[in-house]
């Protein structure tokens, strides 16, 4: 177990390193972001990042806090929430947007799931050398721990919520990795996940309007939704792109799973129970399982519908991010895999199942269709991310001697630490 107080110096160091790679205006904004601990699930309101009081997802004794894999999990939480801020998730009125839907809980889950995919992909491209690897490894590790619920074993609203849960989780995993969550394994993985994934994909959808669009099963629904959402990881510069696609997929999901307006309150009550059963209470859950964006704090910001009518209102929202990435020679989608031929992304994601069943799976980390061992990956990332332990300890000692970790002190130390950081974090 690692407490926030133990990990604080490293997290502040990571935040400083992140800021050094940003343009001046974004660096100033990031340096003003506070970090507060004490929440159960990591989240942000656009100005403050809230982290858990402690992390104990990996129950192994480490030599020290720097080499504790739970510290890497902490860093992944931090990077994910900072990505929402860097890529301006909270610059529009998301509260009004969510409340414009008949079923707010479904809209909130889909919005968070899709926006996570957008900001995650941008982050791992812009910060590919270090922080992007940490975020990717932590996200896949969390995916390896998710426990599916079987909607056929439930009735009424509980079954409907599980359908949205499974759908959101699998769609985000496809968008980020072109794989299903069962491809990511750790010693805490639920071995029944592959069976439940296949079963869920075969679930029938008997809705004429969707059938007329070629959607007869959940597999068809995922393929169709993936094609709609794919632009988010290829050219998703703005949360406005996410809002547009959220509307489109929401309309499909509520029809496919027969979710009605009167289900809203019951779904909200069932939500926390589902997080507990699915193993998401001890950390944030990918796939829209936990709404880590505090949409209440966005009230009063420009309304999405108004901005869509008058794009000049927030033209900088997209252009600033686009300009910065292009100056670094980056294009959205450049790390997300091939840009074409995804008519049956589900079929491609399922290719690994047959190989595993024939004893040819578990092809090792980074294989296209095989399983990835996240226990090993987290260990490798933990040891390589922080470089030489004695160098990191020197940096921490400097911070400790200054008796504080406020942003102005970190900025003052930035010039002195940059050379050490570049050497240690990129080894």
Other residues' Cβ atoms within 10 Å of the Cβ of residue 93: 20
Residues in the chain where the model's pLDDT stays below 50: 282-284, 286-289, 334-340, 356-369, 388-390, 405, 415, 424-425, 427
pLDDT of residue 147: 87
pLDDT of residue 365: 39
- What ranges do the domains of the chain cover? 2-386
Provide DSSP, 187-250: TT--TTHHHHHHHHHT-B---HHHHTTT--BHHHHHHHHHHHHTTHHHH--SHHHHHHHHHHHH
pLDDT of residue 254: 97
pLDDT of residue 394: 59
**pLDDT single digits (tens) 113-143:** 999 999 999 998 888 877 899 999 999 999 9
pLDDT of residue 162: 93
C-beta separation of 332 from 236 below 8 A: yes
- Picking from 74, 33, 98, the residue whose alpha carbon sits closest to that of residue 239 is 98
Tell me the two tokens of residue 168: 């959101």
Q: How far apart are CA 403 and CA 345, in angstroms?
A: 53
Q: How far apart are CA 370 and CA 354, in angstroms?
A: 10
| pTM for this entry | 0.85
**Phi, psi of 342, rounded to the nearest 5 degrees:** -110, 35
C-beta separation of 138 from 286 below 8 A: no
SS3 293: strand
Q: How far apart are CA 164 and CA 159, in angstroms?
A: 9
Pairing of strands 372-373, 184-185: parallel
Instruction: Give the torsion sign (CA, 54, 59, 63, 67).
Output: negative
Q: How far apart are CA 348 and CA 190, in angstroms?
A: 22
Instruction: Give the torsion sign (CA, 210, 211, 215, 218).
Output: positive
């Amino acid at each position: 177990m690692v407490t926030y107080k133990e990990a604080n110096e490293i997290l502040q160091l990571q935040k400083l390193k992140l800021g050094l790679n940003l343009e001046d205006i974004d660096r100033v904004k990031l340096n003003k972001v506070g970090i507060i601990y004490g929440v159960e699930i990591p989240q942000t309101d656009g100005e403050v990042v809230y982290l858990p009081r402690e992390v104990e997802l990996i129950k192994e004794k480490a030599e020290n806090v720097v080499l504790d894999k739970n510290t890497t999990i902490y860093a992944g939480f931090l990077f994910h929430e900072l990505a929402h801020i860097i890529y301006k998730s909270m610059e529009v009125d998301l509260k009004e947007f969510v409340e414009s839907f008949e079923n707010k809980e479904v809209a909130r889950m889909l919005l968070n799931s899709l926006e996570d995919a957008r900001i995650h992909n941008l982050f791992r491209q812009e910060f590919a050398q270090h922080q992007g690897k940490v975020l990717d490894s932590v996200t896949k590790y969390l995916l390896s721990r998710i426990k599916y619920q079987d909607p056929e074993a439930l009735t009424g609203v509980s079954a409907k919520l599980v359908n949205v849960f499974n759908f959101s989780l699998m769609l985000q995993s496809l968008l980020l990795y072109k794989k299903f969550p069962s491809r990511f394994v750790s010693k805490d993985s639920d071995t029944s996940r592959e069976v439940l994934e296949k079963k869920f994909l075969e679930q029938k959808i008997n809705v004429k309007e969707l059938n007329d669009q070629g959607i007869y099963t959940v597999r068809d629904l995922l393929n169709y939704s993936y094609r709609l959402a794919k632009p988010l990881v290829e050219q998703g510069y703005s949360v406005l792109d996410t809002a547009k696609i959220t509307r489109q997929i929401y309309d499909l999901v509520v029809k496919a799973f027969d979710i009605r307006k009167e289900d809203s309150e019951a779904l909200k009550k069932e939500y926390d129970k589902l997080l507990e059963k699915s193993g998401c209470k001890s950390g944030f859950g990918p796939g829209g399982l936990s709404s880590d964006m505090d949409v209440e704090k966005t009230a009063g910001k420009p309304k999405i519908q108004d901005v869509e009518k008058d794009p000049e209102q927030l033209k900088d929202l997209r252009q600033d991010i686009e300009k910065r990435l292009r100056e670094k020679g980056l294009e959205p989608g450049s790390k997300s895999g091939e840009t074409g031929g995804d008519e049956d992304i589900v079929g491609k994601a399922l290719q690994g199942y047959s190989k595993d069943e024939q004893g040819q799976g578990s092809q090792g980390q980074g294989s296209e269709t095989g399983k990835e061992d996240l226990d090993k990956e987290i260990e490798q990332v933990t040891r390589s991310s922080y470089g030489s332990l004695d160098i990191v300890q020197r940096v921490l000692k400097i911070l400790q001697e200054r008796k504080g970790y406020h942003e102005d002190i970190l900025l003052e130390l930035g010039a002195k630490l940059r050379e050490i950081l570049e050497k240690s974090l990129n080894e």
